[in-house]
Homo-oligomer: A and B are copies of this chain.
């Protein structure tokens, strides 16, 4: 019977990652009333540095309020442990006599759990609880954090499209998403009529060509007198490079410890601005990056997302004694169910958006994509029909 749980949060925060943390903590307290439940501050870094908070001593009321609060209340990290760091983390876990370590996060965080599992040699149980607005974890139908972020994006693009009906022009909204286009594609989830925006979506799964982009915009402008575009920050040209790599001198490219390039910034905005002003001179055009707002906006926390996130944390604790695993959200008969899956199936891998989610041109949702988002994102707003 586990006596000490350690819980940590990794990677980019979401609107509901605290639900998962609190779900895990409360389940541990319920199942193992005498156990210690330690929250590591800033992920594995807090374990290495001995920085913990005693979650078994925090009142339920406080925990419930934290659960309803966006972003990672324990702090997060993007550290990727090398051999020495890994040894320090394992030491840190031993020092607090951890039996189970639950790490909540996405691809990189699950990768960290795999590294620790391999290095620990069975002395401890490593669980991974899913979290990512990118929706790109293998084995998962969708991931906690995605629905809230996707709803924000769907609502934002619906709203901007209404704005550009009133004052026509071209809008390019850049959406987070390194390798997977789910969040960008969600921009089209609440389109109703054929003329509604976003009229064009560009995701990392399809090669991006600036020439094709300009042609697409021109055609849309001719047809609808406005053009609303959603583009992933990670769109990739035919040579397999992120678009931003062809825009930014190599010595100015920023990378994190997982080797990920910093994708967003004014370079990407400017590339779109310049392409539009050169090829469609005189057209009113606006390029904005939605940036961090979608991933943790307090006004758009989806209740289903929050509940699923909570349950994923609780399930990681409830099944920990069966051994290390990753928790996955599966879809069975239209309902979300939790399953244990091998950590190796998820760790440091990327799930891409299925090819048949998009139409042949790759710029609009196809039947399968529409059905997916209709299931995950039931329409929340009834709108009237504008006169223009």
Which residues on A are within 8 Å of B, measured CB to CB? 9, 12-13, 15, 18, 39, 41-42, 53, 62-78, 151-152, 155-156, 158-160, 162-163, 165-167, 171, 173, 264-267, 269-270, 273, 286-293, 295-300, 380-388
Distance in Å: Cβ of A334 to nearest Cβ of chain B: 25
Distance in Å: Cβ of A14 to nearest Cβ of chain B: 9
Residue in B69, B74, B381 whose CB lies within 8 Å of A162: B69
Distance in Å: Cβ of A43 to nearest Cβ of chain B: 9
Could you tell me if A74 and B292 are in contact, using CB atoms closer than 8 angstroms?
no
Could you tell me if A165 and B292 are in contact, using CB atoms closer than 8 angstroms?
no
Q: Could you jot down 8 A-B contacts, CB within 8 Å?
A: A13-B162, A15-B159, A42-B166, A68-B383, A69-B386, A71-B165, A156-B297, A298-B383
With A159-B297, A166-B9, A269-B269 as contacts: A384 and B69 at CB distance below 8 Å: yes
Distance in Å: Cβ of A234 to nearest Cβ of chain B: 16
Cα distance, A165 to B388, chains bound together (Å): 44
The 8 A-B residue pairs whose C-beta atoms are closest, nearest first, are A66-B384, A288-B291, A65-B384, A71-B162, A75-B388, A266-B270, A72-B166, A266-B269
A300 — which chain B residues lie within 8 A by C-beta? 299
Cα distance, A167 to B71, chains bound together (Å): 9
Which among A9, A66, A77 has the greatest number of chain B C-beta atoms within 10 A?
A: A66
Q: Which residue of B lies closest to A380 (CB)?
A: B299
A269 — which chain B residues lie within 8 A by C-beta? 265-266, 269
Distance in Å: Cβ of A258 to nearest Cβ of chain B: 13
With A159-B293, A292-B286 as contacts: A152 and B299 at CB distance below 8 Å: yes
A12 — which chain B residues lie within 8 A by C-beta? 167
Distance in Å: Cβ of A22 to nearest Cβ of chain B: 9
Cα distance, A125 to B70, chains bound together (Å): 51
Could you tell me if A165 and B75 are in contact, using CB atoms closer than 8 angstroms?
yes
| Secondary structure type dominating chain A contacts | mixed
Distance in Å: Cβ of A8 to nearest Cβ of chain B: 12
Q: Which residue of B lies closest to A300 (CB)?
A: B299
Cα distance, A173 to B293, chains bound together (Å): 10
Known: A270-B270, A286-B292. 9 other contacts (CB 8 A): A69-B162, A72-B386, A73-B166, A73-B384, A74-B386, A75-B167, A159-B293, A265-B273, A298-B381
Could you tell me if B384 and A68 are in contact, using CB atoms closer than 8 angstroms?
yes
Distance in Å: Cβ of A147 to nearest Cβ of chain B: 13
Could you tell me if B70 and A159 are in contact, using CB atoms closer than 8 angstroms?
yes
Cα distance, A308 to B289, chains bound together (Å): 32
Could you tell me if B293 and A167 are in contact, using CB atoms closer than 8 angstroms?
no
Cα distance, A351 to B90, chains bound together (Å): 61
Distance in Å: Cβ of A105 to nearest Cβ of chain B: 11
Q: Which residue of B lies closest to A39 (CB)?
A: B387
Could you tell me if B296 and A299 are in contact, using CB atoms closer than 8 angstroms?
no
Could you tell me if A163 and B292 are in contact, using CB atoms closer than 8 angstroms?
yes
Could you tell me if A295 and B42 are in contact, using CB atoms closer than 8 angstroms?
no
Could you tell me if B384 and A76 are in contact, using CB atoms closer than 8 angstroms?
no
Cα distance, A292 to B288, chains bound together (Å): 8
Distance in Å: Cβ of A144 to nearest Cβ of chain B: 16
Could you tell me if B162 and A76 are in contact, using CB atoms closer than 8 angstroms?
no
Q: Which residue of B lies closest to A273 (CB)?
A: B266
Could you tell me if B296 and A18 are in contact, using CB atoms closer than 8 angstroms?
no
Residue in B66, B267, B289, B385 whose CB lies within 8 Å of A385: B66
Cα distance, A269 to B270, chains bound together (Å): 10
Could you tell me if A163 and B70 are in contact, using CB atoms closer than 8 angstroms?
yes
